[in-house]
Amino acid sequence: MTEITPATPGVDRRTLLQRAAAVGLMAAPAAGLLSACVGGSDDTQKQAEGTKSADNPLGLDPKAPVEIVIFDGGLGTKYATDVDTPLYNKKWPDSKVTYSATQEISTVVQPRINAGDAPDMINNSGSKLMDMGALVSAGQAQDLTELFAAPSLDIAGKTVKDTLVPGTIEQGTFDGKPYALNYAYTVFGLWHNAKLFQKNGWTVPKTWAEFTALCDKIKAAGITPYGYAGANASYYQYLVILTSAAKIGGPDVLKNIDNLVDGAWTAEPVKQAAAAWAEIGAKYSNKSFLGLKHTEVQLQQDQDKVAFYPSGSWLENEQAADTPAGFEYAVSPVPSVTASDKLPQTAIYASAGEIYFVSSKGKNPRGGMEYLRTMLSKEAAIGFTKLTKTLTVVQGATDGLTISPGLTSGNDMLKAAGSDIFSYRFDTWYKKLDDEARAATNELMFQGGTADKFCQRMQKVADAVKADSSIKKFQR
């Protein structure tokens, strides 16, 4: 059976995969504080466990309750209540699933982890997500190796790992072990209303010259050419800045940033990208967006007051209630900044995002892993995509589906990219860098900042993170 508890009121939306978060994030405790807070009670807590078998490969106790907490953001929560939990209970009818939803994960869940009363499975996302690196370092996240080695729930002859898009497990790996499941496969780019573009005869730009020329035309038509929400969604914007940097200099630009290589943020490709986007912010955006939330700017786009909006492929579903009948979501890659970019214009940032993890010190970690195994079944993945208009990391989960215009556009962009797909990890590894990138991006785009100042500001914080022995370091 399923017990539904009311969602906790909150404010903002999610971060990508992995992501994802926003300006004003609540500071998550450092690993040392986490370890100190949780103390000894939950270290010796009796955890539910059953007998492993072919039908029960993770060895959960079939009668033990499972508690899940879901982030209530752009993906909604119906996939959990209407798809995943019924599927879990179909196999384990005696296991009561206690469910709750919130938009403030760290506010609601962090105190419970610190008190030794962690939920079993948590969707760690939103503008107040918890610091995943700190959770791993404090031993609060369950090693998911057994989960990925277990048989798929409904794809015969394959392990869970075999059913996943390549790179999925690596996206949630810390120090060589998987501690998180990044479930939603998200493509990022510049979103627009295809019907508006058709009506005006506007062509999606591929070069920077085409981009700025089109922005001039859009501006002349009385529409803000480009916008994003500075109050809580500036990570959308620093993502496209870094996308441009990776196209200019190649994917190692982002790898160097992740690995805290000296001078990674002041490298020429990052400066060129920041300078190009600073011009867009100065000439083609609206400074009032600095104080707006994502849904407020997204609503303006739905009203054809904003042409281009940077986001991930969750956008169409997030705006479903406010999207008028004549609006058709479409997405395109970020235009090439220079004629000598190392990656083609079709290259994109795409990755497994939307973090789910199991509490290692909770009452029923094996039940939490089994719930994730349910989510990774093909049936659950299809249900998720139908409800959210978002791909999952389960291969073939859209086979035979009639999908929405936005998701179709994202799929087309993904196919065109081929192997030219990249991502970064610093945002989940080092919260200080993520926070600083949000603030520095708003300064660059809305407050007259310069590329040099942006790069120097980011490098200073990266150097501080690198020198801080209390911060666990990761490499890729």
CA distance 30 to 138: 9
Using the 3D structure, point to which of 385, 412, 439 is the last residue of a domain: 412
Same domain, 278 and 372: no
pLDDT score of 44: 52
Residues of 124-141 as b/e, b for ≥16 C-beta within 10 angstroms? Answer: bbbbbbbbbbbbbbbebb
Query: Does the residue 475 lie in any domain?
Result: no
Same domain, 34 and 145: yes
DSSP code of residue 27:
P
What average pLDDT does this structure show over 311-322?
92
Instruction: Identify the residue with better confidence: 37 or 148.
Output: 148
Query: Does the residue 309 lie in any domain?
Result: yes
DSSP H or E stretch at residue 355:
strand 348-358
What average pLDDT does this structure show over 227-237?
94
pTM beyond 0.85: no
Same domain, 86 and 146: yes
Count other C-beta atoms under 10 Å from residue 205's C-beta: 21
Same domain, 308 and 283: yes
Please report, as a single letter, which amino acid is at residue 4.
Answer: I
Same domain, 181 and 284: no
Instruction: Identify the residue with better confidence: 84 or 476.
Output: 84
Could you tell me which residues are beta bridge partners of residue 4? Answer: 99
Q: State pLDDT tens for residues 359-388.
A: 999 999 999 999 999 999 999 999 999 998
Q: State pLDDT tens for residues 284-307.
A: 999 999 999 999 999 999 999 999
CA distance 182 to 172: 6
Range with lowest mean pLDDT among 39-43, 82-86, 105-109: 39-43
Same domain, 174 and 192: no
Please report, as a single letter, which amino acid is at residue 422.
Answer: F
What CATH number does the domain containing 462 carry?
3.40.190.10
What average pLDDT does this structure show over 106-133?
94
Same domain, 24 and 128: yes
Please state the domain count of the chain. Answer: 2
Written as one string, the DSSP assignment of 227-264 is ---TTT-HHHHHHHHHHHHHHHH-THHHHHHHTT-TTS
- Give the range of the structural domain holding residue 148, as residue numbers without chain letter: 2-185+351-412
Query: Does the residue 476 lie in any domain?
Result: no
Find, among 252, 236, 168, the residue nearest to 434 by Cα: 236
- The span from the first CA to the last CA of the chain, in angstroms, equals 42
